[in-house]
Structure 1
Amino acid sequence: MFKIFAIGLLFAMIMASFAQINDKCLQCICKTESGCRPLGCAFDVNSDSCGYYQLKQLYWVDCGKPGGSLAACSKDKACSEKCVRAYMTRYASRCTGGRTPTCQDYARIHNGGPNGCKIAATAGYWNKIAPCYNSG
């Protein structure tokens, strides 16, 4: 039984290592969301969106509640990036069916939640990110 658990844990750790958003993709999301500025919280689609990455309360909870509060974390670029990276590590493989996630997958998850890359409406968000990501 322990061997099965150990193998499962190892597999999960390997999958998590593949689900790492790269710095360029992260920066393109930041530029699109806020111009990479620590914007204050403002109401947007059913709840407040805050900071560099326009994080919402549930997103912040799902990323592990870094920084003590959504407002505090969203104003700190390092904390916000930690949150986005944790969120992507948690959800990217769910959305991709086991293949290595692309920036498009990450962007659509960021915009549409854990299953965002399967939601047609998030394709428009990717179209905002793509020129930045695909530039030299």
Structure 2
Amino acid sequence: MSKIIIGVILLAITIVIFAQIDNKCLQCICKTESGCRPLGCAWDVNSNSCGYYQLKNVYWIDCGKPGGSLAACSKDKACSEKCVRAYMQRYATKCTDGRKPTCQDYARVHNGGPSGCKKSATVGYWNKIAACYNSG
């Protein structure tokens, strides 16, 4: 029984480490979304988008509702990053069929939701992120 518990714990740790978005990718998403500024909420494609990462309410719910409210979290860079990291841990490996996610996968999931890395509509967004990510 204890071997099973240890195995489950090691698997969980591996998944958490495996699905970590790197800081450079995270910063490129921030720069692309807002110039890395705490923008207020504004209407964008059927709902408000808010803050550093232009978070939407459903994204904020899926990342665990940190910071007490979408408006409060989106204005706080640390809270916003916590939300994006949690969202990526939840969805990025599902989108890639289990392989280690790349910055492209993370960016496309951020832009297109849980299956965003498989949607052709997110390629243009990735191209913007790639310009930042691949620059010196």
Same fold by TM-score greater than 0.5? yes
Q: Partner residue of 2:42? A: 42
Q: Partner residue of 1:80? A: 80
Answer with 13-22 or 47-56: which moved more.
Answer: 13-22
Matched, 1:67 2:77: no
Structure 2 gap segments, 5+ residues each: none
Structure 1 gap segments, 5+ residues each: none
Q: TM-score, normalised by structure 2?
A: 0.94
> In structure 2, how many angstroms separate the alpha carbons of the residues matched to 1:34 and 1:3?
47
Q: Partner residue of 2:58? A: 58
- Secondary structure of 2:48's counterpart equals strand
* C-alpha deviation, 1:8, in angstroms: 3.7
Is the 1:92–1:106 contact (alpha carbons within 8 Å) kept by the matching residues of 2? yes
> In structure 2, how many angstroms separate the alpha carbons of the residues matched to 1:48 and 1:69?
13
Is the 1:40–1:75 contact (alpha carbons within 8 Å) kept by the matching residues of 2? yes
Is the 1:16–1:90 contact (alpha carbons within 8 Å) kept by the matching residues of 2? no
Q: Partner residue of 1:126? A: 126
- Secondary structure of 1:97's counterpart equals coil
* C-alpha deviation, 1:96, in angstroms: 1.0
> In structure 2, how many angstroms separate the alpha carbons of the residues matched to 1:39 and 1:21?
22
Matched, 1:91 2:91: yes
* C-alpha deviation, 1:99, in angstroms: 1.2
Q: TM-score, normalised by structure 1?
A: 0.94
Matched, 1:13 2:13: yes
* C-alpha deviation, 1:6, in angstroms: 4.8
- Secondary structure of 1:33's counterpart equals helix
> In structure 1, how many angstroms separate the alpha carbons of the residues matched to 2:56 and 2:92?
18
- Secondary structure of 2:43's counterpart equals strand
> In structure 2, how many angstroms separate the alpha carbons of the residues matched to 1:52 and 1:61?
17
Answer with 98-107 or 8-17: which moved more.
Answer: 8-17
Q: Post-superposition, which runs of at least 4 consecutive aligned residues in structure 1 deviate over 4 A?
A: 1-6
* C-alpha deviation, 1:11, in angstroms: 1.6
Is the 1:92–1:109 contact (alpha carbons within 8 Å) kept by the matching residues of 2? yes
Answer with 11-20 or 106-115: which moved more.
Answer: 11-20
